[in-house]
């Protein structure tokens, strides 16, 4: 069977398997890979070189399919893809056709589905294949499976390839976080020297003429802010402190704040932005709300978490000062106009990281607090597992519970870190390991231009968030400690083995086919890339790096 037919076969069979993220359907990939292992003679005969790694504590019982093609020597390339896809609800009446790429493509040609001009143009060209997961990212997986089938036939294959399928990438990356344990175990038990982690996520293009290879992945932080004010009747507003006002001032100082923009190499992050904010009132009444909360997204390229959060602390403190100052101005004017003499305002800026609040609750309430938190965590875990509660709402509950056990009842801003956390990664962080990789990338770029007149651009960071974030971690012990203290649900519900990742520190690349409209009913992959160009590029890179 030629490579194109092998890729097509693997793609159609894999896409037909429903693996919707964060559902029990993700486990359907096990049957697919069990069948594939048995169909490939090498893996059928070497059962010790493949298996399913259980993700510790995973409420859905998801597993990581892995296969090790053991050749000559210790040098090993890890190739990853994520096994989950988003659901198909937006396909409407064509929901079942979403898993049949050629059939859904033909259905779209009948003109019964509303397609925009660009989608229609791609459809009419005959160069694109539609369907759920064809791009994101079972197309890339089909390429790698087909290459592995070919490599496994070579009796003198040089080097090793470790293939991983990680679940939950579309949600909290439980698969890749859990895979770190497997990587460490195999490295030690099989004497593997990891020289590269290659992801095959699809790439998007700003210009149709320029394809992209990535040698890093953007980082992402989710700061959570919980503001407790002071309750008061609306007719006596100066006896209270409105948390909505304070949180709004924090939003004004942080949203789109250009001080957070980073440029590293040829990548620049957008400024941070807020995704949600709301008071904590459950019903209408004529009192000020007691609290307000929200969260934001911060993308990073080089800055460690503590530096980001120290800046957020400073801005929150300034926001608190500004609200107090504005309140005093209004207060003084009210006294002057009303002729009433009121008590002097007593508010002072009060901003705390969650780790400090936790220590304060422990000091004030001791065992009563630890028991309450332990009970809450069990309840939250159950609610998360049964889709009754979001991560963010759980974060608020943890902060609220902690505040209950602190004696100080004054207004306060609490800043915490919520899952998920994606560390920023780039090969410059492990430059000494990347000399041959950089040469190989240069060779690929030259080859593509000379062979297909196709320009490939090396982007320093994949900005769509990827599992490559868990290939390396270069921040110091102070930052690891900071994350451990301020990440809500740490170890109880959410955990990243940062020390193990730091020890592994594997160079990264992303080389995948051109895709469009991921997560939409118009998701599609460019067939020239899927069947020809991307497989050739990956094949050349693998052989170049493992032959050194």
pLDDT in tens, 140-171: 999 999 999 999 999 899 999 999 999 999 99
Q: Confirm whether 500 is domain-assigned.
A: no
Question: How far apart are alpha carbons 333 and 497 in whole angstroms?
Answer: 55
Q: In whole numbers, what is the pLDDT of the chain averaged over residues?
A: 96
Q: Confirm whether 486 is domain-assigned.
A: no
Pairing relationship of beta strands 128-130 and 524-526 according to DSSP bridges: antiparallel
Q: What are phi and psi of 54, to 5 degrees?
A: -75, 135
Are 176 and 320 contained in the same domain? no
Q: Confirm whether 490 is domain-assigned.
A: no
Q: Which residue has the tokens 């790439």?
A: 203
Residue 464: pLDDT band with limits 50, 70, 90: confident
Q: Which of left, alpha, beta for 354 (phi over 0: left; psi -120 to 50: alpha)?
A: alpha
Are 9 and 24 contained in the same domain? yes
* Sequence-separated (6 or more) residues with CB below 8 Å from residue 124: none
End-of-domain residue from the set 417, 435, 454: 417
DSSP state for residue 283 in the 8-state scheme: S
Residues 291-310 have a mean pLDDT of: 97
- Sign of the torsion formed by the C-alpha atoms of 443, 444, 449 and 455: negative
Are 195 and 261 contained in the same domain? no
| pTM score of the predicted model | 0.94
Question: How far apart are alpha carbons 120 and 319 in whole angstroms?
Answer: 50
Asked if residue 423 lies in contact with residue 475, where contact means CB atoms within 8 angstroms, the answer is yes
- CATH number assigned to the domain comprising residue 297: 3.30.70.360
Question: Number of structural domains, the chain?
Answer: 2
- What would the pLDDT profile of 53-90 be if each residue is shown by its tens digit? 999 999 999 999 999 999 999 999 999 999 999 999 99
Q: Which of left, alpha, beta for 106 (phi over 0: left; psi -120 to 50: alpha)?
A: alpha
Percentage of the chain modeled with pLDDT above 70: 100
C-alpha closest to that of 181 among 199, 170, 166: 166
Q: Confirm whether 230 is domain-assigned.
A: yes
Other CB atoms within 10 Å distance of the CB of residue 529: 25
Q: Confirm whether 54 is domain-assigned.
A: yes
End-of-domain residue from the set 417, 438, 462: 417
Map 393-440 to HEC letters: HHHHHHHHHHHHCCCCCCCEEEEEECCCCECCEEHHHHHHHCHHHHHH
Secondary element (H or E) of residue 76: strand 72-82
Are 279 and 392 contained in the same domain? yes
Residues 239-264 have a mean pLDDT of: 97
Pairing relationship of beta strands 508-510 and 193-199 according to DSSP bridges: parallel
Residues 425-453 have a mean pLDDT of: 97
Are 152 and 68 contained in the same domain? yes
- CATH number assigned to the domain comprising residue 83: 3.40.630.10
What is the pLDDT, as a whole number, of residue 1? 64
Other CB atoms within 10 Å distance of the CB of residue 86: 18
End-of-domain residue from the set 417, 449, 484: 417
Residues 529-534 have a mean pLDDT of: 98
Are 377 and 242 contained in the same domain? yes
Q: Confirm whether 49 is domain-assigned.
A: yes
What is the pLDDT, as a whole number, of residue 302? 95
Question: How far apart are alpha carbons 293 and 213 in whole angstroms?
Answer: 39
Q: What are phi and psi of 169, to 5 degrees?
A: -65, -30
Asked if residue 26 lies in contact with residue 20, where contact means CB atoms within 8 angstroms, the answer is yes
Are 180 and 118 contained in the same domain? yes
Are 400 and 426 contained in the same domain? no
Q: Confirm whether 162 is domain-assigned.
A: yes
Are 82 and 201 contained in the same domain? yes
Residue 206: pLDDT band with limits 50, 70, 90: confident
Are 388 and 465 contained in the same domain? no
Pairing relationship of beta strands 50-54 and 128-130 according to DSSP bridges: unpaired
Percentage of the chain modeled with pLDDT above 90: 93
Are 283 and 190 contained in the same domain? no
Residue 303: pLDDT band with limits 50, 70, 90: very high
Is 3 a residue whose pLDDT tops 80? Answer: yes
The boundaries of the domain holding residue 136 are: 3-218+422-471+506-547
Are 260 and 193 contained in the same domain? no
DSSP 2-32: -HHHHHHHHHHHHHTS--BTTSGGGGHHHHH
Question: How far apart are alpha carbons 306 and 53 in whole angstroms?
Answer: 33
- What would the pLDDT profile of 315-362 be if each residue is shown by its tens digit? 999 999 999 999 999 999 998 999 887 777 789 999 999 999 999 999
Residues 96-120 have a mean pLDDT of: 97
- What would the pLDDT profile of 15-52 be if each residue is shown by its tens digit? 999 999 999 999 999 999 999 999 999 999 999 999 99
Q: Which residue has the tokens 């049957």?
A: 31
What is the pLDDT, as a whole number, of residue 253? 99
Is 249 a residue whose pLDDT tops 70? Answer: yes
Is 259 a residue whose pLDDT tops 90? Answer: yes
Q: Confirm whether 273 is domain-assigned.
A: yes
Asked if residue 318 lies in contact with residue 441, where contact means CB atoms within 8 angstroms, the answer is no
Residues 111-121 have a mean pLDDT of: 96
């Amino acid at each position: 069977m030629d490579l194109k037919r092998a890729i097509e076969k693997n793609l159609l069979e894999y896409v037909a398997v429903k693996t919707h993220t964060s559902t029990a359907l993700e486990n359907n990939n096990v049957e697919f890979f069990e069948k594939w292992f048995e169909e490939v003679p090498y893996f059928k005969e070497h059962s010790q070189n493949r298996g399913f790694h259980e993700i510790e504590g995973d409420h859905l019982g998801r597993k990581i399919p892995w296969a090790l093609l053991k050749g000559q020597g210790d040098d090993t390339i890890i190739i990853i893809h994520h096994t989950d896809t988003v659901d198909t609800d937006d396909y409407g009446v064509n929901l079942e056709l979403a898993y049949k790429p050629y059939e859904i493509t033909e259905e779209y040609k009948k003109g019964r589905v509303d397609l925009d001009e660009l989608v229609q143009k791609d459809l009419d060209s005959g160069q694109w294949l539609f369907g759920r997961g064809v791009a994101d990212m079972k197309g890339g997986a089909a390429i790698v499976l087909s290459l592995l089938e070919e490599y496994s036939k070579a009796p003198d294959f040089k080097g090793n390839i470790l293939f991983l399928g990680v679940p939950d990438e579309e949600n909290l990356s439980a698969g890749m976080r859990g895979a770190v344990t497997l990587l460490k175990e195999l490295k030690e038990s099989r004497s593997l020297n990891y020289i590269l982690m290659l992801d095959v996520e699809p790439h998007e293009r700003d210009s149709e003429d320029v394809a992209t290879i990535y040698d890093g992945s953007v980082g992402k932080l989710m700061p959570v802010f919980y503001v407790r004010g002071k309750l008061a009747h609306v007719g006596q507003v100066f006896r209270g402190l409105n948390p909505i006002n304070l949180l709004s001032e924090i939003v004004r100082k942080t949203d789109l704040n250009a001080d957070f923009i980073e440029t590293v190499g040829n990548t620049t992050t957008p400024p941070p932005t807020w995704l949600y904010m709301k008071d904590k009132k459950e019903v209408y009444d004529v009192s000020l709300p007691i609290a307000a909360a929200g969260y934001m997204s911060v993308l990073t390229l080089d800055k460690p978490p503590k530096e980001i959060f120290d800046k957020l602390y400073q801005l929150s403190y300034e926001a608190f000062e500004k609200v107090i100052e504005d309140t005093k101005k209004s207060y003084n004017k009210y006294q002057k106009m009303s002729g009433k003499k009121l008590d002097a305002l007593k508010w002072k800026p009060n901003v705390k990281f969650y780790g400090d609040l936790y220590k304060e609750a422990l000091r004030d309430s001791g065992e009563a607090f630890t028991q309450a938190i332990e009970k809450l965590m069990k309840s939250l875990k159950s609610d998360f597992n049964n889709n009754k509660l979001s991560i963010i709402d759980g974060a608020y509950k943890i902060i609220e519970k902690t505040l209950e056990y602190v004696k100080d009842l004054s207004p306060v801003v609490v800043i915490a870190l919520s899952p998920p956390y994606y560390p920023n990664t780039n090969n410059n962080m492990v430059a000494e390991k990347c000399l041959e990789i950089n040469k190989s990338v240069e060779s690929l770029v030259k080859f593509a231009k000379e062979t297909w007149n196709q320009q490939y651009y090396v982007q320093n960071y994949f900005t769509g968030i990827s599992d490559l974030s868990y290939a390396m971690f270069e921040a110091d012990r102070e930052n690891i400690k900071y994350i451990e203290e301020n990440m809500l649900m740490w170890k109880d519900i959410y955990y990243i083995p940062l020390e193990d990742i730091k020890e592994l520190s594997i160079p990264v690349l992303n080389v995948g086919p051109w895709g469009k409209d991921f997560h939409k009913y118009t998701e599609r992959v460019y067939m020239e890339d899927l069947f020809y160009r991307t497989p050739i590029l990956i094949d050349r890179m693998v052989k170049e790096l493992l032959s050194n």
